[in-house]
Amino acid sequence: MKKLRLVAAAVTAAVTAILLAPMPANADPQAEIAPDAKAAFAVFDRKTGRTTIAWDEHAQFRSASVVKILIALDYLEKRGPDAEIPPADLARLEPMLRSSDDNAASELWVQEGWEKIVERMVVKLGLQDTAPPVNVGFWGYTALSAADVVKIYRYVLDRAHPKFRDFIMGNLHKATKCATDGFDQSFGLPSVVHGEVAYKQGWSRFGDTPPKPCVESPRPPTYAGVAKDGPLGLGARSAADVDLTRPAMHTTGTYGHNDRKIMVVLTLEPVGTTWNVSADRITRLTRAVHLADLILG
């Protein structure tokens, strides 16, 4: 018994030493957040049921096209699992999720009730930091947080009807490298995490023209993305205190067997930051978050 106690004490000391040891330089996410940028991140392990690493996870950011997950989920939830998706709507939902088609998102946003989509999802999913856009014509100005995006993925994976889960995650797993508007979405998770992945990226305030043409990968695509903020619309109907000026770039998704891990990294850059600089920064930050998760998780 005494020997067992000694072994247990030694194991406890070793684990404590590991947890208290300085994080390797390339696995320290906070060190990768530029002084002039804002960032939040979270990683959730569905197998253990715990958040392995997080930083400022309740800070609000404008969603950019990450909100497209809510647009699709609300559409399905409103109709129920027995409803058949009309071809016209299927032709919008699939490219919206796979290639982040903005026109498809805008049409569904108007068709399904504008800001009411977000309001319904906030109640149904119990989202704490999510709010409709100040200008309801801009779906990309929806406010959300890293914690709420994790909660959205958890709902889709663990609580939504299996048909809804399979539709949304199936499309994200089949997503294209290039968005409909030509932007390359291989920053962040797709550049860092290997193996089975599903992605929904987001960005805004980088202009309408990509810095260089996006070329599809010859291998089967494993990531999805987003583009702009949405169509011009009506005046303010709700208040969401989020920055609408600085360039935003987000990478969100799942990886591992059966979508075990959920990762969300949200960033804001100074006005004037180029696409390439922002993509490089969020990729380095995502790599650090992933390495820290491997160490701590």
User: In the prediction, which pLDDT does 24 show?
Assistant: 57
3-state secondary structure of 272: coil
For residue 72, being part of any structural domain is answered with yes
For residue 18, being part of any structural domain is answered with no
User: In the prediction, which pLDDT does 25 show?
Assistant: 56
| CATH number of the domain enclosing 256 | 3.40.710.10
User: In the prediction, which pLDDT does 195 show?
Assistant: 87
User: In the prediction, which pLDDT does 216 show?
Assistant: 86
User: In the prediction, which pLDDT does 224 show?
Assistant: 33
User: In the prediction, which pLDDT does 175 show?
Assistant: 86
Predicted TM-score (pTM) of this structure? 0.86
Closest CA to 184 of 109, 59, 100: 100
**CA separation for the pair 33, 53 (Å, rounded):** 15
Q: What number is the average pLDDT over the span 76-95?
A: 98
Closest CA to 54 of 150, 194, 168: 150
pLDDT for 296 beyond 60? yes
Question: What total of structural domains would you count in the chain?
Answer: 1
Helix (H) or strand (E) holding 167: helix 162-173
User: In the prediction, which pLDDT does 27 show?
Assistant: 78
Q: What number is the average pLDDT over the span 93-115?
A: 97
Could you tell me the residue range of the domain that residue 142 belongs to? 29-296
For residue 12, being part of any structural domain is answered with no
pLDDT for 2 beyond 90? no
Rg (CA), the chain: 20
User: In the prediction, which pLDDT does 239 show?
Assistant: 37
Residue with tokens 């309801």: 136
Please work out, in degrees rounded to the nearest 5, the angle formed at the alpha carbon of residue 266 by the alpha carbons of 23 and 29.
10
Exposed/middle/buried for residue 131 (C-beta within 10 Å: 0-12, 13-18, 19+): buried
Helix (H) or strand (E) holding 252: strand 248-255
Q: What number is the average pLDDT over the span 61-71?
A: 98
Beta strand segments in 9-62, E: 38-45, 50-55, 61-62
Mean pLDDT of the chain: 87
Phi-psi region of 105 (alpha: psi -120 to 50; beta: other; left: phi over 0): alpha
For residue 206, being part of any structural domain is answered with yes
**CA separation for the pair 91, 73 (Å, rounded):** 16
Q: How far is CA 238 from the centre of its chain?
A: 23
For residue 24, being part of any structural domain is answered with no
For residue 85, being part of any structural domain is answered with yes
Of 1-10, 30-39, 119-128, 181-190, the one with minimum mean pLDDT is 1-10
**CA separation for the pair 99, 282 (Å, rounded):** 20
Please work out, in degrees rounded to the nearest 5, the angle formed at the alpha carbon of residue 152 by the alpha carbons of 118 and 128.
65
pLDDT for 15 beyond 90? no
For residue 9, being part of any structural domain is answered with no
**CA separation for the pair 133, 202 (Å, rounded):** 16
**CA separation for the pair 167, 10 (Å, rounded):** 48
Whole-number percent of the chain with pLDDT over 90: 78
pLDDT digits (tens, 9 = 90+) for 228-284: 454 433 333 343 489 999 999 999 999 999 999 999 999 999 999 999 999 999 999
Closest CA to 187 of 260, 265, 255: 265
Q: Are 132 and 250 in contact (CB under 8 A)?
A: no
Residue 35 identity: P
**Tokens for 87?**
């071809």
